[in-house]
Amino acid sequence: MTTRAPAAAPGIEATSLQPRRHLLDLDDMGFAEITTILDSAEAMREVLHRSIKKVPSLRGKVVLTLFLEPSTRTRVSFEQAGKMLSADVINIGGSGSSAEKGESLLNTALTLQAMHADILIIRHEASGAPYFLARSLENTSVVNAGDGRHAHPTQALLDLLTMRDHLESLAGAKVVIVGDALHSRVVRSDIFGLVASGASVTLSGPPTMIPLDLLNPRGAPSLPGVAVEPDLDTAIVDADVVMALRIQKERQDAGMMPSLREYTRRWQINEDRMRLAKPGALIMHPGPMNEGVEITSSLAHGSAQIEEQVTNGVAVRMAVLYQLLQGSDGGSLT
């Protein structure tokens, strides 16, 4: 497959491409590799528009999804991506598998490796679980589909693709991410990808929901390119992209926010607030939404790019599966 030669964003060094066996996060991914994956995803996206949505690129490959936390769009889009590339895709969930009988994650993964799985896509409540498997499995690639509150690299890649589709360049773009950053694995991966692409990130939301590890002890952002502005009406001014995050009730302690009503009043993405952003600014949400809380229904089902994100999720996951497996023997996108 041919890809556009990646041009580095101003001030960003293009790193040389290394063949990659696992995709665990974007923290070790430079602009050049991100560009290669997104270019590949653009080519893959074209397959989605064909009447026969299938190419033979990964024929004979075995892709396993092991989702031990709930998921709709991520699980289905990995499955769809694998099937569109002609891989054999097998889905395993927590209930109905030996995980329910108390089998350890490692033993489950070793069993799946012994069945000659080429790729294991894992979602797990424990941060770090995919890293542990990547270290333990010799013959199977591991893809992180979301680990605890840590990382969600394919969500970040699909977010970057969606932004790249609309903005001339991500270099210099202002991206405002609003809400429960503390519990969000999406925001952490997004930050790495956005900063590598030369964008600036402003986090906004209740101070109790801003991750302290992003701040140095004096309360200033410790990552270059990342700012914190709790007041959304200030943060949103001149934004190119506004992204709402879901309030992750399942990971929250009590007392993290005043009340849903107060949250909605201060941090909901609505039409009035969007007038403070740049005209035509993108409105994004990784889903699932608490509709009417983080974002108004009219924006979510109106001018927002949320469904584009979902479509791009399939294309990006096709690109990731293809890139990880093409090292083993490849195949062409025909």
Q: Give the residue, chosen from 20, 21, 73, 83, that forms a contact with ligand NCD under the rule CB under 6 A.
A: 73
Q: Give the residue, chosen from 35, 40, 57, 74, that forms a contact with ligand NCD under the rule CB under 6 A.
A: 74
Site string for ligand NCD, 227-266 (x = CB under 6 A): -------------------x-x------------------
Applying CB under 6 A, does 146 fall inside the site for ligand NCD?
yes
Q: Give the residue, chosen from 22, 45, 185, 273, that forms a contact with ligand NCD under the rule CB under 6 A.
A: 185
Applying CB under 6 A, does 122 fall inside the site for ligand NCD?
no
Distance between CA atoms of residues 191 and 156, nearest Å: 8
Q: Answer yes or no: are the C-beta atoms of 91 and 79 closer than 8 Å.
A: yes
Q: Give the residue, chosen from 34, 186, 274, 319, that forms a contact with ligand NCD under the rule CB under 6 A.
A: 186
Q: Which is nearer to ligand NCD, 198 or 286 (CB)?
A: 286
Quickly list H helices, the chain.
31-48, 73-84, 105-114, 129-136, 153-166, 185-196, 232-235, 260-267, 271-274, 297-300, 306-326
Shortest distance, position 310 Cβ to ligand NCD, whole Å: 8
Residue nearest to ligand NCD (CB): 246
Applying CB under 6 A, does 82 fall inside the site for ligand NCD?
no
Sign of CA dihedral 195, 201, 207, 209: negative
Q: Which is nearer to ligand NCD, 71 or 86 (CB)?
A: 71
Shortest distance, position 152 Cβ to ligand NCD, whole Å: 5
Q: Which is nearer to ligand NCD, 88 or 308 (CB)?
A: 308
Residue 190's φ and ψ, nearest 5 degrees, are: -55, -45
Q: Which is nearer to ligand NCD, 73 or 83 (CB)?
A: 73
Regarding beta strands 226-228 and 119-124, do their DSSP bridges make them parallel or antiparallel, or are they unpaired? Answer: unpaired
Contacts for 245 with CB less than 8 Å, ≥ 6 apart: 177, 178, 179, 180, 181, 184, 186, 187, 205, 285, 286, 294
- Radius of gyration for the chain, computed over Cα atoms and rounded to the nearest angstrom: 20
Applying CB under 6 A, does 155 fall inside the site for ligand NCD?
yes
Q: Give the residue, chosen from 79, 286, 290, 306, that forms a contact with ligand NCD under the rule CB under 6 A.
A: 286
Applying CB under 6 A, does 287 fall inside the site for ligand NCD?
yes
Distance between CA atoms of residues 158 and 153, nearest Å: 9
Q: Which is nearer to ligand NCD, 86 or 252 (CB)?
A: 252
The interaxial angle of helices 153-166 and 306-326, nearest 10 deg, is 120
| Residues within the interface to ligand NCD (CB under 6 A) | 73-74, 146, 152, 155, 185-186, 246, 248, 286-287
